[in-house]
Chain A
């Protein structure tokens, strides 16, 4: 991802797993400056940074790298504000569908039926569709991506940075300890999410929707959802009626996106 952005880049990171993996002071694991900021403040901080760089005539990329908690929940106000103000930045949300740093509590990104430490019998509410919320801000470019397809991420980051104004990339990031599956199955889990339709890859460029080839294929021949759910400990013992609701949501989501794609073609 940082390769795609190039060296003239600053990353803004709120409290999330990335605040931990950078290493402990005075070390840093990244080859661009990383500015750590409080949980709910990343987009606002980046907004100030971007404005200051642009005022100084600098083209430095400002990239927020935040989790689902920092994006869908505590950071949503600052994010919405930064998008509405047309901030020239890229906001990347890597979504592992729970608060990972604190040990897997439910977030707005947790899907219905998933067990977390604060939903021990499974979440009863649906996953918040942050992409629809972002789309309502009408940014020039936004996309979904999945950690199982790194080339796709690379391309989308590169593409996002060619736009002026706010851009958004939402990455599904399978999380072995949180989702409760063996680490070596991470890529497979990401692919299963796409193939089952729980995650849809698409781009929205100036309002024009393009569904990614992997999701196009999945829409034609969807993998039974159970094949995605059963390897994950978080969905163990999920009630059949919840599975049914999830299936309905997948179908509805496919329908909506396909219609949007057609309408904007």
Chain B
């Protein structure tokens, strides 16, 4: 059924349909609408889940861990400082191999109290063992949440999944969303290591130097195995619901001389820039990275590449640009734009492409080339 919804409402709707046993969350701008909506679903009897209104994000993730290990489906949502406050427990969730699904509404970090979009929050979590997907429309936010449960809970994965949506730009925009009849798209959860008093075991006990690396390797092995699971899940989703997704969303990349890469809504806006550039005779394309973990295989050979980072690693560079350089070995034009919700239009993006300087970095607005 088609309706108009905000990104936040679409996330809540998808969570309702996935029907987790436990939701534990703490409100934070601009995520608040998600937890309010879920709390309303639960108290209105529309969602049989338990909603634990915890006293902090650290406890939100700890409660999700405690719930998940009993073998129930588990969800939380956060943003920015909330995500960083969880950081200890996000590591724990992945290490404990718990298929928790989280919506993270990407927001800048203080100081400067800034509630607007930025990806640095989620990117600071990229080494925790969580799968990460970045979405660009309300529809995609809804679809990605549904797929996230199936991917996380697949016994070849058993890792938590973070669905990222841009603060305000996507969390609060109202767009059409086509909800689906879920059917058996998400199978019943079966956690093979669920806690069971009939079979006492120690979980997360003291683990020596002769063992720990094996657990870590196992996370990486599952992360690699998740590629196939993601592909299968997206394929089945397309078959059932007629909406196609992939590791990247490529727009006119095949014959392109120059490709713009970005995450989230900037990746969508870039497609408009590509149309403008094509009219000018510049063979441009756009590649929006959806899955950042596991990192996609990118074929960028022979192309000029412009990466827009709505994030930064101080003393190093744009995080997405750095990862692409490390994985592909190419040189590229790194643009830092959209920090703290800085306005970036399709005209700006077209400008980055026109005036690109491969091998250099541009801080948009500051106009400092490095």
Residues of B with C-beta under 8 A to A26: 202
B321-354: contact bitstring with A at CB < 8 Å (1 yes, 0 no)?
Answer: 0000000000000000000000000000000000
Q: Are B52 and A25 in contact (CB under 8 A)?
A: no
A118 to chain B, nearest CB (A): 23
From A19, A22, A33, A78, give the contact of B195 (CB < 8 A). Answer: A33
With A24-B208, A51-B67, A56-B72 already in contact, the answer to whether A33 and B50 are too (CB < 8 A) is: no
Nearest Cβ in chain A — how far from B25, in angstroms? 11
| Contact indicator A52/B206 (Cβ below 8 Å) | no
List of B residues within 8 angstroms of A50 by Cβ: 66
* Chain B: CB-nearest residue to A19: B206
The distance from the CB of B275 to the nearest CB of chain A, in whole angstroms, is 48
A23 B205 Cβ-Cβ under 8 A: yes
Segment at the interface with B among A41-49, A139-147, A205-213, A251-259: A41-49
Question: In the complex, A49 Cα to B194 Cα: how many Å?
Answer: 11
CB distance from B291 to the nearest CB of A (A): 27
Check B62–A33 contact: CB distance below 8 A: no
> Are B53 and A22 interface neighbours, CB within 8 A?
no
A55's contact among B50, B88, B200, B211, by CB below 8 Å, is which?
A: B50
Question: Does chain B have a CB within 8 A of A186?
Answer: no
Minimum Cβ distance to chain B for residue A33 (Å): 5
Max chain A C-beta neighbours (<10 A), residue from B22, B69, B200, B202: B202
Q: Is A7 an interface residue (CB 8 A)?
A: yes
Q: Give the distance in Å from the alpha carbon of A184 to the alpha carbon of B169 in the complex.
A: 67
Q: Contact between A36 and B58 (Cβ–Cβ < 8 Å)? A: no
The reply on A85 being an interface residue by CB < 8 A is yes
Partner of B59, one of A24, A33, A77: A77
- B52 with A47: CB separation less than 8 A: yes
A149 within 8 A of B: no
Decide yes or no whether B54 CB sits under 8 A from chain A: yes
- Beyond A35-B195, A37-B92, is A28–B201 a contact (Cβ under 8 Å)? yes
Contact A45–B66 (Cβ < 8 Å): yes
Q: Smallest CB–CB gap between B243 and chain A, Å? A: 32
B231 located at the interface, meaning its Cβ lies under 8 Å from any Cβ of chain A in the complex: no
Judging by beta carbons under 8 Å apart, are B54 and A47 in contact? Answer: yes
Chain B nearest CB from A81 CB (Å) reads 3
- Interface residues in B45-64 by Cβ distance below 8 A to A read 49-50, 52-56, 58-60, 62-64
Contact of A33 among B21, B58, B72, B200 (CB under 8 A): B200
CB < 8 Å neighbour of A24 from B66, B70, B207: B207
A38: Cβ under 8 A from any B Cβ: yes
Contacts of B71 in A (CB 8 A): 52
Chain B residues with Cβ under 8 A from A28's Cβ?
Answer: 200-202, 205
Asked if residues A34 and B92 are in contact (CB atoms below 8 Å), the reply is no
- In chain B, positions 68-100 with a C-beta closer than 8 Å to chain A are 68-72, 74, 88-89, 92
Q: A44-B56, A47-B62, A48-B65 are in contact. List 8 more A-B contacts (CB 8 A).
A: A33-B203, A35-B195, A41-B62, A55-B49, A77-B55, A77-B56, A84-B55, A85-B52
Interface residues of A (CB under 8 A from B): 7-10, 12, 19-20, 22-28, 30-38, 40-56, 60, 77-78, 80-82, 84-85
A–B pairs, 26, beta carbons within 8 Å: A7-B197, A7-B198, A19-B206, A23-B205, A24-B205, A24-B208, A25-B206, A27-B202, A32-B200, A33-B197, A35-B69, A37-B204, A40-B88, A41-B65, A42-B62, A44-B62, A44-B63, A47-B59, A48-B24, A48-B63, A48-B64, A49-B195, A52-B67, A60-B197, A77-B55, A78-B55
